Amino acid sequence: MTEEKAAASLSPFEQALGEITRLAGELRPNIGFWNSDWPSRFSQIEVSVDRFVASQTQLDDKRCKDLVGVIKARREKLSLSSGITTPILGICQQILAFGGAGIALTVGFVDKVKQFAPVVQKVLMSVGIFYGELIVLSLAVLMLYMLQARFRYPSIYFEKIGNAWPFFYYAAITPVSRNPLQGGGARFDASVAYAKDYVRFCERVLNETESDRLRAELQQYFLLMSYQAYVHQFALRLASLFMYGFIGAVATLIIMLSSIAISYFGGGIL
């Protein structure tokens, strides 16, 4: 009885949050790294969130319209791109391009390097190692970027609280074959799916209430904010990896050249 009273005294927001926390605590320990069926386990939490949002967006039409206006204005101002990723990728591509040319030239002239004085050979070797490290760094940055680009955001697995149906095809278009070479049967099936999706879409748009619009706007607004977090954090990590690697390579080059200089003018390591 006491528990029921305590639960009833909580606001719908607190109840929903408590429900999510409870379900997460029950479900999480059973989900390992290789569990690919986690979306199906998450569906219980999704139902809880959907119930809360649906109950909270049942407002009068005027209130719904005002809120939709506010949300639209805020959503349009969200910055969804990063300014640092493109320059870093450009630098890495240049390093790889020049590195490939450098390797080809080195293979052709490596025997002539032996004619230089030992200290000159050491300097050339140090510079070669420095550029080799930059090449490895560029490959690592590009690999990280490709993994980030192919990252499957959790929200695309949601059925009720992910991308809102007016703004993304996941909730409106039936999956059909995307094979570039299709026969008559596949094309016919895709056309039937197109017709059904079109009928459903028309029904939803024409019978949409202000509450439905508010729900969709709110859902997409929050999803874009979540997406912005991924984009920004991915860009930060890409920049950090590049900075760490670049400074490490430059510092290594300075240390090696200094050691060569010290050994040339006196005793040294190299």
Partner 1 sequence: MRYTGLVGEFKWWGFFASLALCLGSALLLFNRVSYVKDTTQEVAKAANQSLELEVKAMQATVDRLEQRISVVEQKVPSQGSREGEATQKRVPAPKK
Where in 113-142 is the site for partner 1 (CB under 8 A)? 114, 118-119, 121-122, 125-126, 129-130, 132-133
The correct pick among 82, 173, 252, 257 for binding partner 1 (CB under 8 A) is: 252
> Applying CB under 8 A, does 10 fall inside the site for partner 1?
no
Where in 39-98 is the site for partner 1 (CB under 8 A)? none
> Applying CB under 8 A, does 106 fall inside the site for partner 1?
no
Q: Which is nearer to partner 1, 110 or 199 (CB)?
A: 110
Closest approach, Cβ 149 to partner 1, in A, equals 20
Closest approach, Cβ 115 to partner 1, in A, equals 12
Q: Which is nearer to partner 1, 44 or 252 (CB)?
A: 252
Q: Which is nearer to partner 1, 69 or 248 (CB)?
A: 248
> Applying CB under 8 A, does 161 fall inside the site for partner 1?
no
Residues 177/30, Cβ–Cβ less than 8 Å: no
Closest approach, Cβ 73 to partner 1, in A, equals 24
Q: How many residues bind partner 1 (CB under 8 A)?
A: 26
> Applying CB under 8 A, does 255 fall inside the site for partner 1?
yes
Chain contacts with partner 1 (rule: CB under 8 A): 114, 118-119, 121-122, 125-126, 129-130, 132-133, 229, 233, 236, 240, 243-245, 247-249, 251-252, 255-256, 270
